[in-house]
Structure 1
Amino acid sequence: MTSGPRSHDDDREPPTNQGEERAYAKVTWRLLPFLAACYLIAYLDRVNVGFARLSMLGDLGLSEAAYGFGAGVFFIGYFLFEVPSNLALHRIGARVWIARIMITWGFISGAMAFTGTLAQATGLGSDTVFYILRFLLGAAEAGFFPGVLLYLNYWYPAHRQSRAVALLLAAQPLSFVVGAPISGAIMESFGGVHGLYDWQWLFLIEAAPAVLLGIVVLFYLDNGIGDARWLTADERRLLAERLAHEAKSKRDDPLRALLKSKPLWTFTAIYLLIVMGVYGINFWLPSIIQQTGVESALSIGWITALSYFVSAVLAILVARRAERRNEKRWHAAIAAVLGGAALALSAGSADSTWLTVAFVTAASTGALVTMSLFWSFPGSLLVGAGVAAGLAAVNSVGNLGGFIGPYLLGSLTEWLGSTTAGIAVLGGCIAAAGGLIAATCKGYGLRMMESEAHGE
């Protein structure tokens, strides 16, 4: 199946050479470690409210319902402002806009420490201030992940993006590996220091890296290939030619036209299904491990960390293989189906801790592989403002799965008295995403002319 695209590609695009590979390696080493660090901080600031909850509710007088609404309202702000943010990035430039995003969300995340103080100063209830800050945090952070995806489109042609996205997404499981012990240590060590509660120090300390990295962005990131003085003139010309060659087969559609695009809605459905399963894994993995008989929170943490680490490594390796073979549809589809099946099977393996962990690791790997390959699909169709709006639209609607997945799992668990059925349903969602990819995503993200790949 891969021989066709390769021979076709040889007629359309000059073959790669060592100079080109060295140029892209320089880009990867320059950009990806730094962007992954920024993404890790973003994820920490998004989820640290879960640790703060351990003592914040009593200190502020918040109910469980108020906390739940405040934790979720983040996604509303995220959803509403994601497309405008990405369009602003495309117009203003990645360096300034990504810095703006990080500095803004850092200050708002830090302001969470003063929820009670702000409530007293404004005469509002603590719950209302909590809702406002969480909404503003979502609005401020909106556009970061799709903005970084858009930024990668300024450097890599679509067929090279999957490995870069896999490296970026590795920061998400890494945030679980390092974030939990760091948050726990802050809560244990800083409570009462200078008259502040432990959860206040958590927000303040974990907000600082976002502000500092945002400032670094202004000096470290370049808006695109033309500004990259760390590349030679020949390397800049070569990489620009690669993007220009691919752009001939893309469209720069306005947002109104994108909303009528069948591929865009297909991508959105695929991503929604993946995210439903992924958030189910993220929120329930510790509970799944606990149900197998592991009682120690520290042991659960280490087992969770091991599962995510293995998944991240395997996802990078599979994405690399898919790019080398110039075949992404079946790599992504098979990974999603196997991952979904593994998640469903994990629900019935509670008698064995390590069998459960193996199934969940396979599920997490399948989801990460699928997402890594998937994000090169929209970029293979669109360019300019079209890809900015398209990536943001897919990500914003897809992230609603962060609401739907955990809610569905919790509801089924409460109704049936067991997580088994709910986990199996979420596994079915990931598998269904694989079926959609197999049926609709032929030729996306490959080294070939997209118009011919789709028979246009």
Structure 2
Amino acid sequence: MLGRIYRKMDMRIVTILLVAYLLDCVDRLNIGFAQKNISEHLGMNSSDYGMAAGIFFIGYVLFEIPSNLMLPRVGARRTFARIMVLWGATSACMGLLHDKNMFYFLRFMLGMFEAGFAPACMFYLGLWYPPSRLATVLSVQQTASPLAGVMAGPLSGWLISSMDHVGGVDGWRWMFMLEGLPSIIMGVVVFFVLPDRPEDARWLDDRERMVLKRDSAPAPTAVYYASFRAVLRSPVIYVLSSAYFCLICGIYTVNFWLPNIIRNAGVQSELQTGLFSAIPYAVCTVAIIIWARRSDRTGERRLHSTLPAAFGALALFITAFVGGSLFLSLVVVSIAISLIFSAYIIFWTVPCEMLKGPGAVGGFALVNSIGLMGGFCSPIIIGHLTTWTGSLAAGLVCMGLIVATGSLLLFLSVPRGPARQHKPITAVAA
């Protein structure tokens, strides 16, 4: 019976969140494929592009915690619908860009409207699934990010090429407008079909809800936070946030600069750039599911997050020195993004297992807010280093060192051994 219940939830909960997050990631990634065209039309250099890519995260971080603190009051359904409709509309407006300042403004607004989506997903899935299933469930839902890389590359490249000058509009403008529309539609769908809690799911009967509640006991590592103030006083939250910052630096290095890495290897066609960029993300999609299932099977989180981050940092470092070969660049980048993203997936099981109580959703938001500053810093650092040196190599080396630091922080902060061996649940008062 339990298996049947979880299959229902996989279909009605995880699938919806996977599609929603897929659209979210496409709307984040497509800027990388339009970089060349936007830079030419708006007269921007690598530093300007890095600032535009990074300023998204200023808006995201500023509104992340308020968005998530509202979630328990307004419910998951309304929260997800609001976020998706507003980010879809803003993404579509990117097709109307006419100067650099408007670009900065819309990137900030996109971050502001997307704020809260990822931690809300983590918190929401934690309401439905027990710790023993969490890594696998998160890996499936989070495959949206590499899948977006698989989709966004060929789709964006095709739209830029095939829609160029249709109706007198540039292809890159069509790309933003057409890729923003599905998010608006999905936001409406989510509003009508997603239940706020297991108790609200009409497709579960009373017996199924009781069985689900019995199976969803908190992890032995869980800490009950009575309020967001209690979260703010917890040192482990800041260590986890710093580790997450380092992982995000590595992930967004690939997300924002992969098209450049491919172009530097000699590929000039927008369509070919998009097709080649799909390869690392396709490899990553398979790798993270395999790694997450292994982590769930063993119950081990520490080494399953630390080791991929360490070797991913090494692969990112090597990427800086193979830029002349398309084959080697794709191989090493595929390894780097697969390993760093595997560490990212396992990382999120830790706060999901540890943070419980009314303050938990604020805890997710705080970890995500601090960590996502890596998405602001990494493109700016790489942009400036690229402008100064005329090469991506220095930026890639720098990001490799940052991810290596994240590996060390994970080793220090993630509980050791299988979950059943960890300390019992602890309460933290307001």
Taking structure 1 as the reference length, the TM-score comes to 0.83
- 1:301 Cα offset (Å): 3.4
Structure 2 Cα separation of the partners of residues 190 and 405 of structure 1: 31
Query: Partner of 1:179 in structure 2?
Result: 152
1:138 to 107, 111, 125: 111
- 1:267 Cα offset (Å): 0.7
2:212 to 232, 239, 253: 239
1:109 to 72, 78, 91: 91
Query: Partner of 2:345 in structure 1?
Result: 372
- Looking at both structures, which has the greater relative contact order when contacts are Cα pairs under 8 Å and sequence separation is at least 6? 2
Q: Provide the secondary structure at the position in 2 that maps to 1:251.
A: strand
Query: Partner of 1:314 in structure 2?
Result: 287
Structure 2 Cα separation of the partners of residues 351 and 200 of structure 1: 31
Structure 2 residue runs without a partner (length 5+): none
- 1:63 Cα offset (Å): 4.9
The alpha-carbon distance between structure 1 residues 182 and 320, as it changes in their structure 2 partners (threshold 3 A), is same
1:423 to 369, 377, 396: 396
2:134 to 133, 144, 161: 161
Structure 2 Cα separation of the partners of residues 365 and 57 of structure 1: 29
Query: Partner of 2:29 in structure 1?
Result: 47
Query: Partner of 1:260 in structure 2?
Result: 233
Structure 1 Cα separation of the partners of residues 390 and 92 of structure 2: 39
1:98 aligns with 2:80: yes
- 1:93 Cα offset (Å): 0.7
1:78 aligns with 2:60: yes
Query: Partner of 1:4 in structure 2?
Result: none
What amino acid does structure 2 have at the position aligned with 1:399? L
Q: Residues 266-277 of structure 1 correspond to what in structure 2 (within 5 A)?
A: 266-277=239-250
Which of structures 1 and 2 has the bigger CA Rg?
A: 1
The alpha-carbon distance between structure 1 residues 371 and 55, as it changes in their structure 2 partners (threshold 3 A), is closer
Contact 1:376 1:445 in 2 (8 A): no
Structure 2 Cα separation of the partners of residues 390 and 164 of structure 1: 20
Query: Partner of 2:71 in structure 1?
Result: 89
The alpha-carbon distance between structure 1 residues 177 and 368, as it changes in their structure 2 partners (threshold 3 A), is same
The alpha-carbon distance between structure 1 residues 450 and 62, as it changes in their structure 2 partners (threshold 3 A), is farther
Over residues 264-296 of structure 1, what are the superposed CA-to-partner deviations in whole Å (9 max), with x where a residue is unaligned?
A: 001101000111111112233333344455565
Over residues 323-357 of structure 1, what are the superposed CA-to-partner deviations in whole Å (9 max), with x where a residue is unaligned?
A: 01111111111111121122222333446543443
Structure 2 Cα separation of the partners of residues 445 and 52 of structure 1: 45
The alpha-carbon distance between structure 1 residues 421 and 50, as it changes in their structure 2 partners (threshold 3 A), is closer
The alpha-carbon distance between structure 1 residues 110 and 357, as it changes in their structure 2 partners (threshold 3 A), is closer
Contact 1:339 1:367 in 2 (8 A): yes
Contact 1:83 1:392 in 2 (8 A): yes
Structure 2 Cα separation of the partners of residues 240 and 181 of structure 1: 43
Structure 1 Cα separation of the partners of residues 326 and 48 of structure 2: 35
Contact 1:444 1:450 in 2 (8 A): no
CA RMSD in angstroms, aligned pairs only: 2.9
Contact 1:443 1:450 in 2 (8 A): no
How many residue pairs match? The answer is 426
- 1:188 Cα offset (Å): 3.5
Structure 2 Cα separation of the partners of residues 393 and 140 of structure 1: 17
